Structures are given as C-alpha cells and as structure tokens.
Structure 1
Amino acid sequence: MKILVTGGAGFIGSAVVRLAIARGHQVVNLDALTYAACLENLASVADAPGYAFEQVDIRDGAALAQVFARHKPDWVMHLAAESHVDRSIDGPGVFIETNVMGTYQMLAAARQYWEDEGRPETFRFHHISTDEVFGSLPNDPEVKFTEDTAYDPRSPYSASKAGSDHLVRAWHETYGLPVVLTNCSNNYGPFHFPEKLIPVIILNALAGKPLPIYGDGSNIRDWLYVEDHADALLLVVEKGALGRSYNIGGENERTNLQLVKTLCGILDQKRPKDSGSYADQITFVTDRPGHDARYAIDPSRIRNELGWRPSVTVEEGLEKTVQWYLDNEPWWRALQNRAGVGERLGKG
C-alpha cells in the first residue's frame, strides 16, 4: 500500500515511517519541519525506493490537494500535531491552528481526493490521537480509559486533540469518509525529542544537572514503547473497523517518581558516576497548571478484535532507550541547541 504519513519527521511519525518501509509499503512523508521535527530520524530509509518526502504544512489546503493528486495514497495516517503540553500552556494559539484547523484541512483534502477517485473501498483515513482527551483518572487501578470514556480535556493541547477527534468522527458520519481513530498512552523510545520527560531525565543526569519532577512525582502515566505503538497503528489502519476507535496502551503504569528512579538505576549501571547515584540529582519543581493525576488505558478492544498487545515491558524499553541516547549523542545534542527547547519546565 501507499501510505501518506503526516508528521513523519516527528517522534512517533518517524517510527511509523521506518516500520512501514521495512514491511514493504510505499510511504509519502508529509511534514512542515517545525521545531520538533528531525529528518535525521529517517536517515535509515531516506534512500529507500518506496520513500518520498513533501515539506508541506497541514494548514495549507491547496498544497495538500496537490500532494494527494500527485501521490494518490491508499491510506492516510495523520500524526502531525503540536504535542507538548507545557508549550500549549504558554502558546495555545498554534495548537488550535495546527491540531484543529490543520486536521480540518486534512479531512477536506482527503474527502475531495477520495470522491474524485470514485470512493475506493480500500481508502482509509487513520487519525492518531492521545489518551489525554479523556482527562484525569482517580488513583484506582480498576478504573481506566476505554473507548467509551467521556471526553474531558484539561489542557490546551488535549482540548485541541479532542476537537480534532470530533472533526474526524463528523466527517465519517456526515460524508461517509472511511476513518479509524486511535488514542494512545505516553510514548517513549529512540528519537524522542529532548524536551520530553524521559529524554530530559537521561540528558540532565549525564550533564550533572537537576532531574526536575513536577509536584511530588505522584502523577501516574501508562508508558508505551514507540515501536510497539507503530506496530499497533499499522495494524489498525489495515484491519480496524471503519468509524471505530481503538485505545492503545503499554499496560505499564508508573508514577513519574518511579519512572525517574528506574532511569537513574539504569544509568548507574551503564554509566556510573564517580560517586553516588544519579538519583541524588532528583529535584521537585512547581507543578504545572492543570496537571492530570493519572492516565491509564484499557486496551481490551484492540487486543480482542485485532489481537494486538505490547511486546516490550517498561523496564526493557527504558533500558533500550537509555542505551540509544548513550549511543547517539550527536543526534540529541544538535536538538538540544534549538531555540526554546525545554524552556517551561518548573515555571509556576
């Protein structure tokens, strides 16, 4: 199949592109190359015969129409989005423009293309979203997000993603566009942008800097290894039921403090300090506004209907991730030097 992947130079998008190429698909990577994008993520497939790149902003409807007409994709996997919660607090406007208006432009272009091509039955529009649209959970292991959980976004980021989810469902119900949706838990792994929590901890630890944890570190997240996520996404776009959404989780809940201590333990083994532990660098900083207490996904639907479940435990995935950062200093150091990376952490 020929897949149009938006945001393919980002963290999750590039994992999808690499895996899709490895499985013999043709891929058109559409990315605006904003601050969090990195074409180095795709160095391993850049010269593959089935790979093409288009530098296009998803808010540009005319340019999108040209890409659809030129490449004629069978599937669309829409990952392009502004995604950092901290950045959405300081500058919500761009999140609305990209995540809501950009998704509208993608839907409009996809619908026009699909209709012009005679509504092919094989066409799919897969919208990739987040579990953050569901809001916050109580600290009760029996309570988890399902596909039927009511939306309750708490940040400009999650609100913008909720809006985009609603648009996708509306285009399916109103125009018949063949769509599938997924909502995932927190991703981590190789090529993770340096201002996200796990890279911040790894890189600050190596630099001898404080390891900042919001509040008291009790916030709970379900962690999903990015390559597992890419595998699930390709399965859903191929075999998911039209109009249906699937929650994708790692089944790896940890508090932020537990996660950071695990990372410190891995680093203590792989690159020991002259004295003490990296955990000595842990510092608690002012919590961010509207910080959700807990996210946890019930992945029963994707497991029961499509037979998918994560293959990597959080301990295995974190060890792989730490080793990747130790082995790829030129990649992360170049991104750390980009303007504005990591500015908000610890603001009131």
Structure 2
Amino acid sequence: MTYQVAVAGASGYAGGEVLRMLADHPQLEVAAAGAHSQAGEPITAVHPHLTAYADRRFCENAPERLAGADLVVMTLPHGQSAALAAELPTGTKIVDLGADHRLDDAAAWEAYYGGPHAGSWTYGLPELPGQREAIAASDRVAATGCYAVSVTLALRPLVESGLAEADDVVVVAASGTSGAGNSPKKRLLATEVMGSMSPYKTGAHQHVPEIKQATGATGVSMTPLLAPMPRGIIATVTAKPAAAATAADVRDVLAKAYDGEHFVHLLPEGAWPATGATYGTNAAHLQGGVDLDSGRIIVVSAVDNLGKGAAGQVVQCANLMLGLPEATGLTVNGVAP
C-alpha cells in the first residue's frame, strides 16, 4: 500500500532532505511540497539535486493544499506549526519538525522561545523507553531537535541507570551550518565560517529544556559550536558519576540501552564517533569512557543533523504512525569520503 505525504516548508534544508528520503521510499509518495516565498517555483530550482521532482513545483503552505494527505510533515520555523496544524482536519496524522509541541512545560517554552505555549504532542524519539509504541498510536508527533537527539541518546541511559548524577551534566556540541537554515546571514557566509569555529547561544540554547525533559537530567550546561562543515553534529557529553565508574561500566550501560536498536550504534572499544560516518543516514554513533583525571563519564555522539537529527527522524516516526516497518526507506550506511 502507498501513502500520500504532504510536506510544509519543503524549500528549506530539512524539508529538502525529507523530499530526498521520500523519493526513495517504497510506500510513501509526496502529494504536495509546500513553500512560502518559493511557492510556484520548480522544486529543482531550490533543490537541484532532487531530479526525481524535476516536473514538480512548490505549492503554498496552505491547509487546503495539505489536507487530504495520509500524513503531513511540517518543517517550518519555530512558532509557525501550531497555527497551521489547527487548520488541518481533526485526525490528520502530523509529524512536526518544529519546536512548537516538543515541551511539556509552558514556562520552559516561554523562557526559551517566547510567546504562548501550543501544548505538547507525543515526543518523536522512538529509541526512548515506551516511545515507539506511543508514536505508533498517535496522530500528532513532535520530532526532536537536532542537538537534542544527539545529546539525549548519549545521556538518557546514564541518568536512567543511575550511573551518572542528574544535576551535573556538561555538553559541548558542534553543528554544521545547515542547522541554522538557509536564510542568508552574514555569520554563515563561507568567508566567515571556513577555517573558524565559534560558540553561539551560549548558556541559553533552546534544546536544553528538551534534553532535560527527555533524559531526566536536572542540570545541563550546554555550549553549542558552529563548525566549518555543511552538516553533522558531534556532541561530547560529560557527567559526574554517582559512584566510581569505569569505561566498561559506561559501555555496558549504553550496550544494554540500545541492544537490538537498528539506528543506534555503539562503536567498538577504542573507536570514537565522527560526523562524516553518519552523513546521509538515520544513524547515531556512540562511544563512552571515563576521564582519567576527573573521573567524569564521557559519551560522544555523532549524527547527521539533517538525518537522525531531522528528516530521518521524521520518516522513522511516519513509518511507525502508518503501520510500516520502522526502517523502511532509511539507511545506516553513510557516504564517504
């Protein structure tokens, strides 16, 4: 059986990656590809690599153009999804890649995003305990933030197992420039980015409350970095151990948490994640250890911010919501060099 999918915000980087993955999906077809300022333009004028859509044009991000699809994907700027979702028929299956419905705490939303809280939907990270079943039973799913999925996969098992203290977590994570979207910004020009790394949103990144909600951590200090690469996230997560821990203890906790998971890979002992190995995939690569000097637990996580951090997660959730095998249309095999 084939299902029709409408994509709102398909002209952005994440929307384009959703279109790319759907083009090769055996049971999902794109019924509509919505855009704002690019509405009416050929899809390949914005995404020249998507030749499967050479005869297609963007439509408007209008509810009447999206309604009727079996599932709607929203890849819109934060704060825009809730209004559009409210105009779609009740019962329409939606996966929202924006932040509008991720947070349970209205105060956290207002503090980090501003404006009224639109309410929470089922959180779209299938690898969390019980979440796969909840996603499959839901019509409305809020996909994760890109940093949040990388950090959560690294941190959740440590807190849940009691290996790490929940109130002393430090994250330093670097993202490729596609994480900032495709709107023209001086700080994202090649001349500003190439050969340089810089922090941003230091001490107040919007994914911190999401990470705390998803992991059970109570104190998270996060420093995001802009890296001179187009895509990928690598997150170094350190935490104070609840008691003296060894590298074997850390690896054992991660191995048990992700035993049998198709998209989360604990690398062999001594091998550490690299962003390039995850490009174009829905995979997350993890490795854990203990700092020799401080005794702190270290877990490093790498994902493609447009894959497992965005479009891949959307397709994974869509598969579950439509009753399809979870891995359909997704790959764990990267592109190299």
Q: Normalising by structure 2, what TM-score?
A: 0.41
**Larger strand proportion of the pair:** 2
**Larger helix proportion of the pair:** 1
Q: Normalising by structure 1, what TM-score?
A: 0.40
